[in-house]
Amino acid sequence: MMDDTRPIRLSSLAHGGGCGCKLDPAVLSDILGGPSGFPLPKELIIDASTRDDAAVWRINDETALVATTDFFTPIVDDPEVFGKIAATNALSDVYAMGATPIFCLALVGMPVGKLPPEMIRAILAGGRSVAEAAGAPIAGGHSIDAAEPIYGLVALGTVHPDRLLSNAGARPGDVLILGKPIGIGVFSAALKQDRLSDEGYAAMVASTTRLNTPGAGLAALGGVHAATDVTGFGLLGHLSEMCEGAGVRAVIDRAAVPVFEEARTLAADGVKTGASGRNWAAVGGGVETPADWSAIDEVLWCDPQTSGGLLVSCAPDSAEAVLAHFREHGHDDAAIVGRVEAGSGVTLI
């Protein structure tokens, strides 16, 4: 007989978790196809064509509206923490555009017959607490009865059009700065396998619930040319999109990239997500790897990051100010990880 007193593991109700459940990049490209041919209004200054983190609508010469949405299945079993992570991740796309969030709408899909109301309330409370901390209250939303737990936000923000950051603005001569360590996907896979330490779990939650607030002030520093956030397609996937959008080449120093040490150890022990292989298949042809490239490297550099860090391209003489700005916002692991050159693709050294 089933023991109904056992605690419900949210992650057991989902086939994937966090940004690791995003569509395969190749499948997504095939589904989206080419341009629709519909004439776009001049006010829509950024749309999906540049693979940016959000769409942007110019309201007037002083204000542009940034709009994005993000939702996923549970990456952790604690419902309130799941809500916090999902909300932090959704708001990240607003910050990646250099904008300040103003309000949100909740997207909720829950297996009502499987989850008790108090767990669903805890998920919503977690998301609400993060949105309010960002100064962007949840003003409404939509809910459905779904086969798997799904939670996320529509996030809206504003930015001066002249301070808008796109992922397509990187310039040869820039340096690349990453705001958070990578390895969240490996952590999430280890958690499902009961192989993640208490310290690793604490590091995972601290990182995924840390808002990317540095993004809102980056453009004001001067010399910041592009930004994106590293999420489901991994560091190489989102870096490749930045290079493609800007028509440049990136050179990444693997030793400089912040990596959670436990994630590195777990990857060496065979822990990985299914998404890392798909991510590598999507970008590997455009990546030049060193002689000592290994399967562990492939796992880490293509590891899907849930609520990952900002990736910033800036002039070398602005780098110290950008790093100091990150530290002021509690992102102490931010580091220079590479440079931008003329050309195309990504080189790892």
Torsion sign (Cα): 295, 298, 304, 307: positive
Q: Provide the residue type at 217 as one letter.
A: G
Helix (H) or strand (E) holding 89: helix 79-96
Concatenated DSSP letters of 120-133: HHHHHHHHHHHHHH
Distance in angstroms (rounded) separating the CA atoms of residues 265 and 90: 29
Torsion sign (Cα): 126, 155, 234, 229: negative
Helix (H) or strand (E) holding 192: helix 184-192
Torsion sign (Cα): 216, 219, 224, 226: positive
β-strand partners of 65: 57, 158
Distance in angstroms (rounded) separating the CA atoms of residues 251 and 175: 9
Contact in structure between 212 and 179 (CB atoms under 8 Å): yes
Distance in angstroms (rounded) separating the CA atoms of residues 209 and 122: 15
Answer yes or no: 302 catalytic.
Answer: no
Q: State the catalytic residues.
A: 19
